Every structure is written in structure tokens, then in C-alpha cells.
Amino acid sequence: MFIRTALIHLTVILNAVVSAEEDQPAGFPAPLTVDTFKPRLSHGLHLVEFFSPYCVHCKHLAPVWEKTWEAFHEEGENLGIGMAQVDCVASGDLCNEHKITGYPSLKLYGPDGYIKDYPRTAKRKKEAFIKFMRDSAAKHGDANFQVKSKSKLLSTDQMIELLGNEHESPYLVSFWPSYTLEDLDKYEIDKYDTPFDELCVDLQRTWAVVSNQVETLGFNAGHFNCLNNRKICTGLGFDLQKPHVAIMLPNMPIAQFIKLDEDKFDFSVKDIRDFAERTLQAANPPYVDITSMVEKIPSRLPGLFDFPTEAETSIVYYYDDLTTTQEDWDLLPYLIEPLSKLPTVRLYKSNDSRLMNLARVQKKGVYKLFEDKKDFTRAAPDDPSDVIPGDDRIEFELATTLPTLIAFQNVLQMPKVFQSFAPSDIRDQYRVIDWINDQSAPPYMEFNSDTYRAFVNGPDHNEYFALLLLDPTTNDDANLQYQKEFLVGAHEYTTLKDEDRFHKVEAARKKKEEALTKLKANKASARKINDVEARAIPYEQGGDLTLGWLDLNKHKEFIQTIGCNVNEIEHEAGDVIIIDMIREVYYEEDSHGEPLNVRVSRTPLTHTLTTLRGLTNGKLRAIKRHSLFGPSLRWADSLLDTIFNRWTVFSVIVLLVFIFKRPRWKLFHLHFRRKLKDNRGILGIPDAKKE
């Protein structure tokens, strides 16, 4: 009986394997073996899947893997990256050699061997796999690998047609300081009449890769010589000595021509391709429903160092078919250029009513984080902080008319709603753009020189930056606990801040109602009553806090570089530094003068943030960044700030008046005497009698 059952199972498995092989696309490569693994991976890059034919997760991944190969393998050949598989049942020794302990296991290899794992937090879908391989080809690919460019030389007439919006497809165009550049596959430095000729040759190689990648997005890639078309290029605002990149969108009333912001982005494959992708998406926002949005956001706080490699905010234009008018839709084209400069933001549209409920569920989920931790002390004893906000508070935070915007993050559970209470609110492009910029700051990021520079150069970065110090070389459990306390503390601060906003608005509403009641009781005129009724209650929107973590093992010295360790403290994992980006000061102690950290609980962090916000009482010691004085002379920073802030301008004015007082009086005196000696008559003719 046992043998019969085993044979039946074996037959089912074999039939499934045969059926799977029959469904594979034509040309799909066979799994690698001990004999073929090294020869195959000796050239170019490869994303390798180690799998077991008996693994349920592997079976679910199989059709996705095959569709990815079918869609990407030709492009991958041009980029120097391929896909491969290893059957760990048939080639167990090979999998043991590469220390495979789970299935499926996805790893990136180059000619020199293993490079890195496919990120655990990344989606295992066709689009995510392709994006990972494109990024890997750009970052880890062989610099000598030649990709044939698909960019076409644009003539003067063609460029005029593009600028006249006479085209049906989007164009990604590079502009060159050259007279005769035609074939981008020929790297001739003498083609460029510019001191930036080496930059141009490097961009040629980049442009060849980009031209292949953006083709799959629907772009036509082109290049244009600026030196024999000076009037066009200078009219577009280009420096004729440098190369430039821009997008030309078809059938757009505005924002037909979008330039790559060279102050924020490099001429790298990733930066240019992402610029093209997010700009095209901003011009044609894809529809998203609750199912696809749930896949983009976290269902829990991620684990230690397990956050997405790129924080992303999904902005959803949320509308109702019955109430949304053309005037409301006219907002979207104005968002294209601002969104082209925000690498972490993607725009979508939706009329799925469940999205607002998704935001509501996330808000409630955040409140649950605090139900078991009632250790935060507020300033007012009659207003305990351990009361979890109810539905009224949540509805206040989500209150809006339609259409509106909802921001979901792929890192933390902090959805935000653009609160529009009149048609003019959502139609105000400047107010909407400011709100989107507020949402663009990464909610939680690894802190290093690159991310700090991007954060500082970003649009209207938040006022405070809370930095958690971690050390991956020490106890993982301890680091995980520090991170949890840090993030929960930040969530708690956000809810308390929103609660304070709620109470202020409620107080303003109550005051307005009392005023109306009093006017009506006193039989005031209709004009006075209408004036009070029309008085708007201000709603404060936008965030003020960005979160980050720093690896002490790798970037410890960077704390000193940004001027946040003037006391030369030997920092440990779990320490927290709060940087005031506006006043150029930082805080490393709580209100009790103790080192600020989350090693025991989140309370010191939450209390420090609420004290800075003015929600709780306490005194904090601000330390001037890049201070010139040692710890014993720290008081001199405050003294100098006080002197310069209050008296410098006044002193300079007094000094200038003193210096120029005499010369100015002399000038006035001479001018007055000259007027007394004027001997002209009424008609301007010299008086003959005085002659």
C-alpha cells in the first residue's frame, strides 16, 4: 500500500514537471549544473534562482520567472545580464557549495562570483525583477561591455516639430556641445568643442544603455547637436559647453518640455531612466485599486535593516466620478515637472472608495502600538496621553472633499490626506505642490553622505531630523529593539502632534460657534453674522520630522563631519541625535540632561520631540553645529548668537550713519547754497538786473 501511494505521488510530480516544461517559453534555458555553472557565469552578470521542484513557493514563482525571462532576455543580452536557474535536488552539491539554505534563493553573480542577494523586501514580480536587473547592469556591469545605441540623430526640422508638440510618442533627448555628432557608438573625443569632453564621452556610453532601456517604456530616444543649432539650445536655457537631457511629452497643454535637474541628478543610467519613468507616469498616472496599493505598503514595522532599499511614496489622486469636473483634472499637468524632480514619489489615480478606508485602517493600526505602553507623561495632568484617539480623531485627520490626494508610504504606516474643503483648495497648484514636497522626504532612511546630500538639497526638507545610531556588528536583538522603540516613539509623536492639531481646530470651531450664538442672541445684523460664518478655520498640513539611522561601524566619523559631535562623545548603538535643520543646532540630551537614547524605552525620544514642538513642558539644551568652542565654553555659542542676532544689524546701521553723516550734510549744504545763488527768472532766463 505504501509503495503504491509513493508511486502515485511520484507520477503526479513527474507529470507536473513535464507539464511545466511544456509550458515554458521557447528558448528558455535549462537549469545549470556543476559542469555548466562556472562557464555560464564567467561572462557578464546573472540573476540566479536556486530552487527545488518540490518547493511550493518555487512553483508559485515559476510562471513569474518565465514571463520575466521572456520579456527581458533580449534586452538583457544588450545590457550584459541574464537569468539562470539551479535545481537544488538535481545539483545538491552545487547548492551546498553556495550555502543555499532556503528556496527559492535569488542571488546576483558576476564573472568574479557572488555579488549580492536579491532584496528580501523587494517584490517577486516581473516588473521588480526587470528593474533590479537594469539597476544591477548599470551599477555592476562591465564598463567595457558595448551596448549598441538606439538613439537617433534629430535634425533641426525634427526638433522644431517636437518643440511644436507635433509628435505622438514621448521623446527622451540628449543635447550635445558638438557640430557633427551622429553615431553615438563611436567614441571620438574630438567631436566635442568643450572643456567637458570627457564627460560627454562618458555620457555616450550611458546614453547607449539608456536608449535601450527607455524603449520598453514607450520612449523614442534621440540626440541633437547644439553648436550648429545655437538659437534653439540657448532658447531652451542650455549651457552650450555641457551636455543636457530632456523629455518631450506629446499632446500636453503644458509641461511638454521637461529638463533633467542636473543639480539633483547625475548622468547615470539609473538617474536618467528613473527620470524618464516617473515623468511619464506623472503625465499618465496609472489607475490603482486597493489590491495593488496594499502590495506597495507595509503590513507591519519592518525588521532590523530590512527596510526597502528605496523609500517610495505613492500619491493617489482620489476622485469621485460624479463630482469631479474638468477644472479638477486640469491640476494634473501642473504636477508633471515638480514630480520629475522627486525621485521617491510616484503619482497614481483612483476612484476606489476602499482606499480611504485603507488609510483609516493604517491609522488605527498605529494607535494599537501604544495601547500596551502608557508611560508617556504630558504637561497637563487632566489630559492623560494614554487615551487612544477614537474615530472622531481619525475622521478629523482624513476629513476632505473630493477630489483629493492620499499619500501612502512603503516604509511606515503614516498615510496622509490633502485636506481640501473647497474646490479652490485642490485646484491651487502651488498649495498642492507644497503638500507633495512635504510627503517626498524619505520617512526612514539610512544616513550617509549621499542620502544626507539628497535630503538637504531636496525641496523644503522637514524641520527636524531624528537620527538613530545602530551597530550591525553587535547584538542583533538589541539593535532590533532600539529600532522598534525609535519608530514607535516617532509614530507616537506624530499622533500626539495630530491630536494637538485636532484640539486646536475643535477649540476654534467652538469659539466660532460661541461667537455666532452671541451675535444671534444680540440680534446682530445679517452682515456681521455672515462675516463670522465665512471666517475660515485654518488647517495645518504637512510634516516636520524625518527619520534616519546611521551605521556606526561604517559612518561613525560622518557625525563629526556634519557638525553634530562637537562634544566628542563616544556614541553607542541606541543613541539618538535630533537635528534642527532650520536653526542649525542639534540635541543629544533629554529634558533631564540625560543622554538621549532609546535603549530602555521610547519615552525620552517622544518627550524631546513633543517639547521641541511645544506640546509638553521641559527645557532642552541646543548645541550649535560646527561650534568653534569646546565643551567648557559652550555658553559662548549662545552669547554670540544673541549678540549677532539682536545687535549686529543695528550696530552696522549706526556705524554707517556716523561715517556718512558729515559728507551727506556737506552735500546737502552745497546743494542748498547752490539753490540760493540761482539767478534764473521765472521763465528760466537769467535775471538781467542781477547781471
Number of separate domains in the chain: 4
| Pick from 641, 587, 314: nearest CA to 463 | 587
Please identify, among 93, 109, 140, the residue that sits at the C-terminal boundary of a domain.
140
Residue 204 maps to which CATH number?
3.40.30.10
Give me the pLDDT at residue 66, please: 94
- The answer on 110 and 80 residing in a single domain is yes
Query: Which mean pLDDT values do the consecutive 10-residue runs of the chain (691 residues) have?
Result: 50 47 74 92 92 92 94 86 94 92 92 87 86 83 72 95 89 95 86 88 90 89 95 95 96 90 89 94 95 77 53 92 94 96 94 92 71 40 40 79 92 82 89 88 74 64 85 80 86 82 82 89 87 74 76 86 83 93 90 92 92 90 75 55 54 63 50 49 49 42
- The answer on 506 and 369 residing in a single domain is yes
- The answer on 375 and 521 residing in a single domain is yes
- Residue 113, sorted as left (phi over 0), alpha (psi -120 to 50) or beta, turns out to be left
- The answer on 171 and 27 residing in a single domain is no
Please identify, among 82, 115, 140, the residue that sits at the C-terminal boundary of a domain.
140
Give me the pLDDT at residue 653, please: 64
Residues ≥6 apart with Cβ < 8 Å to 184: 149, 151, 204, 207, 208, 211, 223
Name the one residue in this structure whose C-alpha cell is 549621499.
450
Does residue 228 contact residue 159 with C-beta atoms inside 8 Å? no
pTM of model > 0.85: no
Residue 548 lies in a domain: no
Does residue 65 contact residue 50 with C-beta atoms inside 8 Å? no
Give me the pLDDT at residue 467, please: 93
Give me the pLDDT at residue 382, please: 36
Give me the pLDDT at residue 566, please: 74
Give me the pLDDT at residue 383, please: 37
- The answer on 407 and 479 residing in a single domain is yes
User: How far apart are the C-alpha atoms of 280 and 197, rounded to whole Å?
Assistant: 30
Give me the pLDDT at residue 660, please: 58
User: How far apart are the C-alpha atoms of 421 and 404, rounded to whole Å?
Assistant: 10
- The answer on 32 and 120 residing in a single domain is yes
Residue 580 lies in a domain: no
Residue 71 lies in a domain: yes
Give me the pLDDT at residue 12, please: 47
- The answer on 257 and 228 residing in a single domain is yes
Q: Show the beta-strand stretches assigned E in 194-328.
A: 220-225, 244-248, 257-259, 313-318
Residue 593 lies in a domain: no
Give me the pLDDT at residue 373, please: 47
- The answer on 167 and 127 residing in a single domain is no
- The answer on 420 and 512 residing in a single domain is yes
- The answer on 427 and 334 residing in a single domain is yes
Write out the residue range of the structural domain in which residue 324 sits. Answer: 297-533
Residue 96 lies in a domain: yes
- The answer on 412 and 266 residing in a single domain is no
Does residue 643 contact residue 654 with C-beta atoms inside 8 Å? no
Please identify, among 224, 259, 282, the residue that sits at the C-terminal boundary of a domain.
282
- The answer on 331 and 246 residing in a single domain is no
Does residue 472 contact residue 458 with C-beta atoms inside 8 Å? no
Quick one: DSSP state of residue 25?
A: P
Residue 641 lies in a domain: no
Residue 602 lies in a domain: no
Residue 638 lies in a domain: no
